[in-house]
Every structure is written in C-alpha cells, then in structure tokens.
C-alpha cells in the first residue's frame, strides 16, 4: 500500500515499477498517457503535502495524478498551521481526517513516512524525508539509465559514480538501492565529511578523489551540496567546484567518452557542473525530469485506490 523507500526492494520489484512507467512514455521518451489510463484514478483525492521546498517532485506528482484523472490538493508549509507551531505529523493526521484517499509527503523529518504509514489507513508515498530516502527519484534515475543504455532486463555490470554530498542525500540512498538491485556497480565519492564510511553499510564502493570516481564510470550522478542539512558546516563553493566540480575539461580528460551525466536537481550552476556540461549532449538531466512524470504515474497507478469515490 505504501512507498516509503527502495532499500528492501528486489530486482524484480524495481523492474516492475520501471516496466509500469514505460506505458507512460513514447519510444522517443516523451510523456504520454494511454486513453485506457486517463480515468484510472477518477474520484481519488490525492493530498500533495510538501513541507520542504520542491519544484520537480511536487509538480511532476501533480501532473502525474491529473494525467490519471485524480483530484489533487497541494499543501505547502507557507500555507499551513505549521507556521503556528503544528507538527508535520499533526498536519498530515488532520488532512487524512478530511477524507483524502492517499498522501504524497515531503518533510524534513526522516521518521514521518513510517509514523504516518503506521497510524493511517491510507497509502503514504514518500516524496523525500530529510536525508532518508527519495524513492521516486531512485526509480526515475534507474529508468533513465535503463533507457539510455538499452538494458530492459537490468543494469548488470554498469558502473555508476554518485559524487558530491552523499551523506545528506536521500537521492543517493534511493538511487544506490535501485541501481544495486539492478546489478549496477555503484561508486560513491565526495569530500571526506560528505561521504559515508564502509561501516555505514551502503552497497557501494567508496573512493576519495574525483579522478577515481570518474575513471571507469558509464554514468556520473552529481549531487548538490545540501547546506540546509549541514548545521552551519560551510563548504566553500569555489574550492568545491575546483576539486569536485565537472567542467568540459574534466569531462574530456577524466571520464570515458561514452559516459553520461545525471543530476537530480536543483543544479547550482557553476558549482557542481558548469553551464556547458549541464547543456551537453551527454547530459541526461532534463530526460530525468521527463521520466519522473512517468515514474510517478506508475507509482500512483500502483499505490492509489482506484475505486471510484464521491
Ligand atoms: N529532485 C528533486 O527532488 O527535486 P525537487 O527538490 O525540486 O523536487
């Protein structure tokens, strides 16, 4: 009923989500909803509870829901009684009491999706819980790589580097779990204070330099420095760009010539990637965003109640 994270999903389960998403994409990779699915969620009242900022996830969930005929209501922090001191949990419990059929929830609190799933008898879809997980991002990253490399049955042996602020990244977690389940080899890299240690148990190799991360990568997923989760710890943007950023010279000299660049967004131009890399033919960043709509359609189709309601 719920989608909280990808950590425990099997290869078969990840592939099932990706296969379901394919029906919402054309062969050229554009979003498309088959006629038979356009009223799939008719009568479903979906609450989009975004208590942390979001552009891509919020709008693509809303677009996905509407493409399937659901009614959506958006709740953002600025317009709620969170401003008066109400907890995120109470906000969600009150929304559920109004009769929503499912809630998509983004919040700073890592425990919130699990707490809600335990307390509420309606589907909870995690749209990002602090530095916990971001399951639809993990799935859309896997779908993007699967499509780009033409590997419908898995990503066995594909080498994927995830580089930047890994420890604070829910994207890094969910994407690592999805790619690992599909057989890819994941390498994590970033400044020492921003990468996990082997003891943290990530199913990935950990390296300490950009050159090591990039040398054999088929794909590089670049992350933003998440200052909002760093409790005042400062990273100098110019230093970071010099040591960990990717410009066209780094692309040419340190990456295999077929390797592609991904980024979950928002990109801080000139820090982790230069303009010309963001817009490079080997950048899949906007393709990720398009695939995000298809993945969210697949997730809503799977998790939301489909019986017609008043
Ligand atoms: N990738 C991602 O989660 O972007 P938003 O924060 O804009 O939703």
Q: Any residues with CB less than 8 A from the CB of 261 and at least 6 apart, and which?
A: 219, 220, 222, 246, 251, 273, 277, 280, 282, 283, 284, 285
| CA 234/CA 278 separation, integer angstroms | 25
Residue 310 pLDDT greater than 60, yes or no: no
pLDDT-based confidence at residue 80 (cuts at 50, 70, 90): confident
**Residue 115 is inside which H or E element, if any?**
helix 112-119
Question: How far, in Å, from the CA of 302 to the mean position of ligand 1?
Answer: 22
8 Å CB contact between 14 and 20:
no
Question: How far, in Å, from the CA of 310 to the mean position of ligand 1?
Answer: 32
Q: Hey, how many other C-beta atoms are within 10 angstroms of the C-beta on 253?
A: 9
Q: What is the mean pLDDT of residues 7-11?
A: 97
Residue 260 pLDDT greater than 80, yes or no: yes
Indicate the DSSP class of residue 79: G
Q: What is the mean pLDDT of the chain?
A: 95
Of 128, 131, 103, nearest to 116 by C-alpha is 103
Token readout for 250 is 């780094």
Question: How far, in Å, from the CA of 255 to the mean position of ligand 1?
Answer: 26
| CA 109/CA 97 separation, integer angstroms | 21
Please list every protein residue whose CB sits less than 6 Å from any atom of ligand 1: 54-58, 128, 134, 137, 264-266
Percentage of the chain surpassing pLDDT 70? 97
Residue 227 pLDDT greater than 80, yes or no: no
Whose C-alpha lies nearest to ligand 1, atom 1? 264
- 3-state helix, strand, coil split of the chain in percent (to 5) is 45, 15, 40
Question: How far, in Å, from the CA of 2 to the mean position of ligand 1?
Answer: 20
Ligand 1 mutation target, pool 48, 51, 56, 221, most atoms within 8 A of CB: 56
Residue 308 pLDDT greater than 70, yes or no: no
| CA 297/CA 80 separation, integer angstroms | 27
For the entire predicted model, the pTM comes to: 0.96
pLDDT-based confidence at residue 230 (cuts at 50, 70, 90): low
Residue 309 pLDDT greater than 50, yes or no: no
pLDDT-based confidence at residue 204 (cuts at 50, 70, 90): very high
pLDDT-based confidence at residue 232 (cuts at 50, 70, 90): low
The answer, yes or no, to whether the previous bond of 266 is cis (omega within 30 of 0) is yes
């Amino acid at each position: 009923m719920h989608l909280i994270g990808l950590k425990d999903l099997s290869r078969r389960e990840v592939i099932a989500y990706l296969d379901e998403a394919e029906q919402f994409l054309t062969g050229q990779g554009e979003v498309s909803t088959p006629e038979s699915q356009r009223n799939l969620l008719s009568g479903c009242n979906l609450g989009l509870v975004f208590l942390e900022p979001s552009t891509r996830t919020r709008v693509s969930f809303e677009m996905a829901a509407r493409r399937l005929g659901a009614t959506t209501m958006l709740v953002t922090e600025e317009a709620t009684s969170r401003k008066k001191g109400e907890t995120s949990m109470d906000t969600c419990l009150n929304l559920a009491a109004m009769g929503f059929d499912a809630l998509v929830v983004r919040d700073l609190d890592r425990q919130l999706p699990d707490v809600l799933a335990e307390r509420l008898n309606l589907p909870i879809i995690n749209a990002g819980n602090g530095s916990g997980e971001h399951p639809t991002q993990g799935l859309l990253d896997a779908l993007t790589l699967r499509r780009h490399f033409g590997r419908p049955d898995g990503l066995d042996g594909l080498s994927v580097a995830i580089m930047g602020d890994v420890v604070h990244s829910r994207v890094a977690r969910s994407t690592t779990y999805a790619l690992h389940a599909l057989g890819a080899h994941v390498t994590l890299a970033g400044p020492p204070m921003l990468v996990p240690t082997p003891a943290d148990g990530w199913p990935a190799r950990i390296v300490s330099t950009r050159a090591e991360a990039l040398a054999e990568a088929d794909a590089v997923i670049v992350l933003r420095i998440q200052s909002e989760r760093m409790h005042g710890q400062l990273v100098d943007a110019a230093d970071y760009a010099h040591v960990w950023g990717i410009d066209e010279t780094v692309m040419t000299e340190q990456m295999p010539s077929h390797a592609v660049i991904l980024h979950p967004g928002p990109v801080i131009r000139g820090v982790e990637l230069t303009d010309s890399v963001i817009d490079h033919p080997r950048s899949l960043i906007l393709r990720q965003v398009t695939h995000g709509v298809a993945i969210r359609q697949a997730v809503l189709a799977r998790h939301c109640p489909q019986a017609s309601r008043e």
